[in-house]
Amino acid sequence: MDRIFSGIQPTGDVHLGNYLGAIRNWAKMQQDGIETIYCLVDLHAITQWQPPATLRANVLDMASALLACGISAEKSVLFVQSANPHHSELAWIFSTVARIGWLNRMTQFKEKAGKHKENASVGLYTYPVLMAADILVYHANLVPVGDDQLQHLELARDIAQKFNHDYEQDFFPLPEARLQQVATRVMSLRDGNSKMSKSDPSDMTRILLKDNADTIAQKIKKAKTDALPLPDSSDRLEDRAEARNLLAIYAALDGQTLQGVLDEWAGKNFSDFKPILADKLIAHLAPISQKMNEYASDETEVMNILAKGAQKATTLSAPIMSKMREIVGLQGS
């Protein structure tokens, strides 16, 4: 049976990019015959320092968002990474398997560490080793990720393979990426060339799941576009990043292709398109934000769901960990 594992950073202010890029897809993958394990990766989050109270609040926020978007505590295992100590234990073992040369190639580290590499935390550097442990501690074989995480997944495969080779065991599966059928990379509403992100200083660049109808309408109205009417083919969107972004959001909400949307809208103006897009967004997000508010006001319920999830997760990883300890020759099993 396929076992899917994926992780998401616990950020506050969950936005449309998180939803269309990952969360919605996670919800869809909850099907009979597939096991789905979804993890809020707080240990990854602290590779860049943040205030403890913020971290705690963000975990609750993201958990509420996931539940509101249809991740079900019955169909999936939903939990917080630090609640299952097996992740960090396996990460240590994997740090003895992964090579420094492999980590030196990781582009995300280079981007995040910037010019001050010497001053970056060791945790930021070994981030992908922990990610490999997240996946392999459950022997998961499929991993839904965006293309920015493909290199890390490749590293997880390399680690699994080297472990199997070094210990002469066919123990860890080589996990594969599960890319979304319709990859929706939602871009900033003010700059079609940068990703929608919670770290952009302007709130007008993103739509939050908890935004109300007026705010959504306002943000779409003010979204950057250009003066041309909508084209009839996607080739003509190449240098129109903002136009493409709004069309892609529309397509994702409607479950149709970009070309399908263009067939409907070619020749019309953005002034006609935007209110319809705003209506669609509002209709789509209203039930989600309502549920999010319900969960947000019942912290105990969310904590309970996560605690049960952590128990299930630990039950799944425990036998894999004891076998791993035996393979490596560790005594403390």
Q: Which residues bind ligand TRP (CB under 6 A)?
A: 5-9, 41, 44, 131, 134-135, 143, 145, 149
CB of 332 to ligand TRP, least distance (A): 26
Q: Which is nearer to ligand TRP, 6 or 25 (CB)?
A: 6
Structure tokens at 197: 């992100």
The answer to whether 248 touches 258, Cβ cutoff 8 Å, is yes
CB of 130 to ligand TRP, least distance (A): 7
Q: Which is nearer to ligand TRP, 177 or 276 (CB)?
A: 177
Catalytic residue (one of 162, 195, 308, 312): 195
Q: Which is nearer to ligand TRP, 39 or 247 (CB)?
A: 39
Q: 192: which DSSP letter?
A: T
Which segments within the chain are labelled E, that is strand? 2-8, 34-40, 76-80, 142-143, 176-177
Q: Which is nearer to ligand TRP, 142 or 243 (CB)?
A: 142
Amino acid, single-letter form, for residue 5? F
Active site annotation includes 219 = no
Task: Write b or e for each residue in 52-63: b if 16 or more Cβ atoms lie within 10 A of its Cβ, otherwise e.
Answer: eeebeebbbbbb
Sequence-distant (≥ 6) Cβ neighbours of residue 131 within 8 angstroms = 7, 41, 44, 149, 152, 155, 156
Catalytic residue (one of 198, 280, 291, 323): 198
Q: Distance (Å, rounded) from C-alpha 103 to C-alpha 112? A: 14
Which strands form 34-40's sheet, in the order they lie side by side?
76-80, 34-40, 2-8, 142-143, 176-177
Q: What is the number of alpha carbons within 13 Å of residue 202 lying toward its C-beta?
A: 11
CB of 7 to ligand TRP, least distance (A): 3
Active site annotation includes 210 = no
Structure tokens at 10: 């616990």
Q: Which is nearer to ligand TRP, 135 or 305 (CB)?
A: 135
Catalytic residue (one of 75, 112, 280, 312): 112
Q: Which is nearer to ligand TRP, 41 or 66 (CB)?
A: 41
Active site annotation includes 117 = no
- Which residue bears the tokens 């002034």? 271
- Report the residue closest to ligand TRP, judged by CB: 7
Distance of CA 208 to the CA centre of its chain: 15
CB of 269 to ligand TRP, least distance (A): 37
CB of 21 to ligand TRP, least distance (A): 9
How many other CB atoms sit within 10 Å of the CB of residue 203? 13
CB of 235 to ligand TRP, least distance (A): 31
- Which residue bears the tokens 């499929």? 142
Q: Which residues are catalytic?
A: 112, 195, 198
